[in-house]
Amino acid sequence: MKIAAAFSMAMALGASAAGAALKYTDANTGISFAGYSDDKGLKVGMALPDTPEKDLIMQIVGPAKAGAGWAGFDFSSSMTGKMLLIAWPNGKNVMLSPRIATGYVTPSVYTATDVKLSPIPKGTFVNDTHYSATFLCAGCINKDTFSATDADGVFAYAYSTTPVTTPADPSSALSYHAAGFSGFGMSLADAKSADFAKWAAMADTSAAPPSAPAPSVPGTNLTAPIRTSNTTYDYIVAGGGPAGIIAASRLAESGASVLLVERGHASTFSTGGKALMSWNSSVTQFDVPSMAYYLASSTLDSTQYCADTASQAGCLLGGSGMVNALMFVKPQDADFDDHWPAGWKAADVKAASDRFFEKNPGTDMSSADGKRYDQGAYDVLSSFFKSNGFSSVEPLKEPNKKVDVFAHPPWLIQDHLRGGPVKTYLPAAQAMKGFSMRLNTNVVRAVRQASWTSGIEVQNEDGSREIINVKPKTGKVILAAGALSTPRILFYSGIGPESEIKKVPSTVTMTNSSRIDLPVGKGVQDHTILTVSMKTKQPMKSLKSTAFTAPSQTDIDLFAQGSGVLTQAGQRLNFWTSVKSPSDGKTRFIQGTCNSPADDEVKLKVYLTHGLTSSADLGLDATGKITELQGTPWLDTKGDVEAIQVFFDRLVKMTAKPNSTLSIKMKDGSAAPANLTGAALYADVKSSQASGSHWVRSARMGLDDGRKANGSAVVDTNTKVYGTDNLFVVDASMHADLPTGNTQAIVMVAAEHAAAKILALGGAAGNGTAAAPCKKLRRRRSCASSAGPAAHRRHMHRGLVLSPHMKA
């Protein structure tokens, strides 16, 4: 998650740090500010003239014991289309960087020519305890901030104590905002002063903006010489997320030599993760189910999120499967049948699905003692939905029931800890002679010679560059870096639209082959989330967040036995339904995940899912270092907005019934008016709109070869990139459609199916079209006969299921 998503999440989840709005006079400059400070040393302030026009003065103060970190001010709470002002220390200097958030995405550098940041020297410094940036922001009252006539403003801040990726680069990627983030309201009258012109004259307007060094891949230095590894592999899998681990494990079962490369660090305790819980030194924050809702604000690890992607993504072993909220929604048949090509329909993937769910069954009962904890929200909501025609289902057993149903949440929890391929596939793969894994190794590009991919270029943790090759004629490279990172690897490999290839940094060694013109990044989709708060009409108790982040000894002791509230994720009830949009007649599905953030209150996170039509393109930012959205893929079509409004109409009517146990709470805390409509409720909660971070289709699979006129597919039904002999994509990038629920389960089912298809190809083709004859590899064969269900069943139980080694 990036700074932009951080701010929006603060609003959506109600996150805040202890602090207050304030008026203060800065002792160093004498400037009077109105702003906000928290209890950890963060302070932001604004000064305005009596009659605002275009200019303002800002102060951003960030705590930094070692002169590290960054702090940012946001001109809104909803983020979309608003400017951000970021400051961080670079040695004894302070860097200033204006950014723009085009959505819930990584903020790019703000390039409007009429905006200039000029430091006020007396208020700009770095010392042993904090750094301060005080500056004139000329041209900053504009369409991307606020109006000069506004009486009030709703703003936000976020900050981190972890250094930015490249402190000397004003366009640097930002580290995660683990130190704090929140929104606040402010009267702009409190910021006005007749002394503004005197203060503005203190600014050094002659100071040139800091120059950026030559662009480089975030976190890397692509100026080191490249060496070539002496070891070659049958398969190289780039990306150690859920899909990559599954693909690498299944490929290794064939007896082939497989290298799995992950850019991040170890995650779980069993893999050597270091983010240990203070109350239990044998589990990390990624193991404990109750922490799934609180990873974004945890200070145990501030490097688990990618710093160079257009939205939240996990950059650690297990990928986004280690940082998600553990929702495990088994796909309904329509999720494959509606838009996936032949060979990928529900019936086609059933065998793969069965193999996957046998190893990863999921659960709605995660506590070993057979009890469900903190069930106030479920009791209230289940009664509410049942009285309005919804029925109770078991979604892991009845995946095709997705209309007017509710359930205890299905979670990917196994043995009372976070489950998934890191626990169920990886140990078995590591026991195989031909399997190797490298962490903290960033894949920069696939190395191509015309249609043949000879290997990958990586940047190692020490900054060295290396080319690792696959075996000549038969080897294969599989990209599994995720829907937001795989496109960058393709762009850096000379594959994609010309507009994006041109942005690739000059320090990247591009292939000397011609570009393969494919629609990489075109038409990506994501679930949209809107949050509705509701009040209970009868008293209901809810656990405070500290019950999960600073648990009691009783709960710690229960967890040591595999039981209690700490073995549960944060959701308390799920519901599903569908609506038909009036304008286009298309059916769109709705998912809800619900919990209780406070006594007598429940929160519904309403997702628009399968059937939505909004999309946007994904490309590189101006530096070529970060993937960014080129448009907004959330509620961007009339039919999608109608779907939400139709469902909200129904929700309003449900709460208006005389026997309703719930009432809608408006954004300002007031009760819903008697004449509330679905359209009015949508308008009220629209500022809570957030990304589901469930990205798909950035390298879409299809039969329509994207190299041809009107072709939209990047990979074929074997997941092979069109125009290549042996380059594949196995992650959410290749998905042809958004599923009804969270993407976690369907991504892994698809990876199982993809691995079998790749194995069935045998040796690599010579011309990018025909498969070579099957060839023996070591003890087993890499042919279809050895990759079928029987072979998978034979090796399925070789995976070691690690029981939690828990101690209080």
Collapsed DSSP state (helix, strand, coil) of residue 534: strand
Q: Which two tokens stand for residue 475?
A: 């080897």
Considering only CA atoms, which of 554, 489, 477 is closest in space to residue 236? 477
b/e burial code for range 593-610 (CB count within 10 A of at least 16 → b): bbbbbbebbbbbbbbbbb
Residues 742, 279: Cα–Cα separation, whole Å: 31
According to CATH, what is the number of the domain 373-407+528-608+635-688?
3.30.410.10
Residues 801, 359: Cα–Cα separation, whole Å: 9
Phi, psi of 637 (to 5 degrees): -125, 155
E strands along 161-242, which residues?
180-187, 192-193, 226-233, 235-238
CB of 523 within 8 A of CB of 704?
no
Residues 602, 62: Cα–Cα separation, whole Å: 35
Residues 47, 120: Cα–Cα separation, whole Å: 13
Looking at the DSSP assignment, which residues form a beta bridge with residue 84? 74, 99
Collapsed DSSP state (helix, strand, coil) of residue 93: strand
Q: Which two tokens stand for residue 137?
A: 């922001």
Burial class, 42, CB count within 10 angstroms (exposed 0-12 / middle 13-18 / buried 19+): buried
Phi, psi of 172 (to 5 degrees): -55, 150
Residue carrying structure tokens 């958004």: 738
Considering only CA atoms, which of 661, 642, 616, 261 is closest in space to residue 461? 261
For position 784, what pLDDT does the model report? 33
CB of 6 within 8 A of CB of 109?
no
For position 475, what pLDDT does the model report? 98
Region label for 123, one of left (φ > 0), alpha (ψ between -120 and 50) or beta (otherwise): alpha
b/e burial code for range 174-183 (CB count within 10 A of at least 16 → b): bbbbbbbbbb
Where are the chain's structural domains? 3-200, 230-361+417-521+621-629+697-798, 373-407+528-608+635-688
Exposure on the CB side of residue 89, measured as CA atoms within 13 A: 23
Residues 711, 756: Cα–Cα separation, whole Å: 26
The 3-state secondary structure of 582-625 reads CCCCCEEEEEEEEEEEECCEEEEEEEECCCCCCCEEEEECCCCC
CB of 583 within 8 A of CB of 642?
yes
Same CATH topology for 3-200 and 230-361+417-521+621-629+697-798: the answer is no
Distances 344 to 573, 716, 750, 790 between C-alpha atoms, Å: 31, 11, 8, 20
Type of residue numbered 86? I
Residues 501, 486: Cα–Cα separation, whole Å: 14
Looking at the DSSP assignment, which residues form a beta bridge with residue 453? 448
Residues 397, 400: Cα–Cα separation, whole Å: 9
For position 208, what pLDDT does the model report? 55
CB of 726 within 8 A of CB of 764?
yes
CATH of 230-361+417-521+621-629+697-798, one of 1.10.10.60, 3.50.50.60, 3.40.50.360, 3.40.50.300: 3.50.50.60
Pairing of strands 780-781, 442-449: unpaired
The segments of the chain whose pLDDT lies below 70 read 1-20, 65-67, 77-81, 101-106, 175-180, 207-224, 512, 763-808
Residues 486, 537: Cα–Cα separation, whole Å: 48
For position 387, what pLDDT does the model report? 97
Phi, psi of 493 (to 5 degrees): -100, 5
The dihedral built from the CA positions of residue 349, 355, 361 and 362, taken in this order, carries a sign that is negative
Element (H, E) at 580: strand 573-580
Those residues whose C-beta lies under 8 Å from the C-beta of residue 503, and which sit 6 or more positions away, are 491, 619, 620, 621, 622, 623, 624
Residues 661, 307: Cα–Cα separation, whole Å: 43
Residues 158, 166: Cα–Cα separation, whole Å: 19
Residue carrying structure tokens 């298309």: 586
For position 66, what pLDDT does the model report? 54
Residues 575, 408: Cα–Cα separation, whole Å: 9
Considering only CA atoms, which of 151, 169, 179 is closest in space to residue 69? 179
Terminal-residue alpha carbon distance, the chain:
31
Residues 243, 753: Cα–Cα separation, whole Å: 11
For position 176, what pLDDT does the model report? 63
Residue carrying structure tokens 């950059």: 315
Residues 319, 260: Cα–Cα separation, whole Å: 13
Those residues whose C-beta lies under 8 Å from the C-beta of residue 696, and which sit 6 or more positions away, are 483, 524, 525, 526, 732, 733, 735, 736, 737, 738, 743
Q: Which two tokens stand for residue 692?
A: 């589901």
Element (H, E) at 792: helix 789-796
Region label for 555, one of left (φ > 0), alpha (ψ between -120 and 50) or beta (otherwise): alpha
For position 779, what pLDDT does the model report? 35
CATH H superfamily, domain 3-200: Cellobiose dehydrogenase, cytochrome domain (2.60.40.1210)
CB of 487 within 8 A of CB of 466?
no
For position 627, what pLDDT does the model report? 94
For position 785, what pLDDT does the model report? 31
For position 221, what pLDDT does the model report? 52
Pairing of strands 32-38, 43-49: antiparallel
Residues 513, 495: Cα–Cα separation, whole Å: 10
Considering only CA atoms, which of 294, 257, 300, 295 is closest in space to residue 277? 300
Looking at the DSSP assignment, which residues form a beta bridge with residue 682? none
Those residues whose C-beta lies under 8 Å from the C-beta of residue 557, and which sit 6 or more positions away, are 808
b/e burial code for range 307-320 (CB count within 10 A of at least 16 → b): bbbbbbbbbbbbbb
Q: Which two tokens stand for residue 799?
A: 């995976």
For position 206, what pLDDT does the model report? 81
Residue carrying structure tokens 């480089």: 216
